[in-house]
Amino acid sequence: MSITAVCLHLVALGLSFVAAAEPDSAAALNHLGTRYYAEGRHQESEQLFRKAVSIWEKEGQTHAADLGKALGNLAAAVRAQSRLEEAEALYRRSLAVLEQALGPRDPSIAATLGNLAELCRASGSYAEAESLYVRLLVLQKDSQGTAGAALAATLGNLGALYQVQERYSEARASYERALAAGGEEALDRDDPLVITILNNLGLLYKREGRYAEAEPLFRRCLDTWERTLGPEHPNVATTLVNLAELFVALGKLHGAEKLYGRALSIRERALDPRHQSLADSMKGLANVYLAQGRQTEAISLLKRVLAIEEEALGPDHPQLAVDLAGYARALHLARRETEASQAEARANAIMGRRK
């Protein structure tokens, strides 16, 4: 009987006879769990992975590698349900089991290293995340050489880690190495990883004032997202905003206005009305209006920003204080001094309560 047939048979039995099953049953459970996970059935896949883990735990070292891989699968299912601390603990256990069973340089541990690094990055454990990514790079180079999509992905993730820590020169070097490691074959595809790396590299170039290099990267990202995801996708809006910010830096205010306006229109249709990205688009467009002397239109947008942030973040959030101060500056420019003073007083009160 094939593994798939065994899987379906176990499901038909309600998994009630698995408790005393042999390793073949654990393999079947793990196989079906992987299938359910791919279909987005994360709770069901978690149940199956847990049963597989339970069986393989009783087998000792004979099936230690299988146990380690099943723990990694279980961690992925738990992570997909946003139980990140539990997922991190499972990835750590998976890594320890695989290292003991296969050795610390076996290519089979690569996925677990990468997943654990991503969780560490997300939780702010940057030093550990960096250590894991560097270790993963060594493993990938040993097994795959200096090129390939997996290596490019790791370099891209390492670049993002450096970027969030404002280690910009290291981030840029990692992104450039990622693109080189991907090779022409990867760059010719509309690979989301490649486009994300190009976008991040564009942001770094923009920050460094390398506008002529940043613009074609953003335009390529925009073209790819529009073709692959459609013109109304939030990724399109994000790239439009990046390009708009570049235009502002170049003094191309009319072009920036159009880009911000389109991004705002997409986000208004695609996102929750309290989403921070919606507020960010409004702030960008409002700043363009202010630069053009259109204070009334800017003030109208900034009032909407404040309403969104107060509802989404609460009345005492520091971001609200920052944007109240920006609102006050716009009111000053419009010579609406009483309203400006009221906004400033509220901003100061919020910050005062946080000291």
Measured in residues, the chain has a length of 355
- Cα 298 from Cα 282, distance rounded (Å): 9
Predicted structure pTM score: 0.69
**Residue 206 forms part of a structural domain:** no
Across 74-102, average pLDDT? 93
Q: For residue 69, what are its two tokens?
A: 């891989």
pLDDT at position 2 is 52
Cα of 354 vs its chain's centroid, Å:
30
- Positive or negative, the CA dihedral 344, 350, 353, 355 is negative
pLDDT above 60 for 17? no
> Averaged over 221-250, what is the pLDDT?
96
C-alpha span between 20 and 120 (Å, rounded)? 36
Q: Which residue has the higher pLDDT, 202 or 187?
A: 202
Distance CA(278)–CA(256), nearest Å, equals 16
Q: How far is CA 322 from CA 186, 270, 329, 344, in A?
A: 42, 26, 11, 10
Residue pair 175/159 in contact (Cβ under 8 Å)? The answer is: yes
Cα four-point dihedral sign 220, 225, 231, 233: negative
Question: What is the CATH number for 85?
Answer: 1.25.40.10
Q: Cα separation of 167 and 46, whole Å? A: 38
Q: HSE of 319 in the Cβ direction (CA atoms, 13 Å)?
A: 14
The residue-averaged pLDDT of 12-19 equals 47
Query: How sure is the predictor about 62, in pLDDT bands with cuts at 50, 70 and 90?
Result: confident
**Closest by alpha carbon to 348, among 326, 323, 321?**
321
pLDDT in tens, 107-135: 889 999 999 999 998 888 999 999 999 99
- Pair of tokens at residue 70: 């099943």
In angstroms, rounded to a whole number, what is the distance separating the alpha carbons of residues 226 and 222?
6
3-state secondary structure of 80: coil
Note the pLDDT of residue 36: 92
Into how many domains does the chain fold? 1
> Considering only CA atoms, which of 122, 57, 52, 109 is closest in space to residue 83?
122
Amino acid found at 22:
E
Residue 4 lies in a domain: yes
User: What pLDDT, on a 0 to 100 scale, did the predictor assign at position 191?
Assistant: 80
Q: What is the pLDDT of residues 297-352, one digit of tens each?
A: 999 999 999 999 998 888 999 999 999 999 999 999 999 999 999 999 999 999 88
Domain contains 19? yes
128 domain residue, yes or no: no
pLDDT at 13: 45
Print the domain residue range for 55.
1-103
pLDDT at 150: 86
First to last CA, the chain: 68
Comparing 6-20, 178-192, 266-280, 285-299, the range with the smallest average pLDDT is 6-20
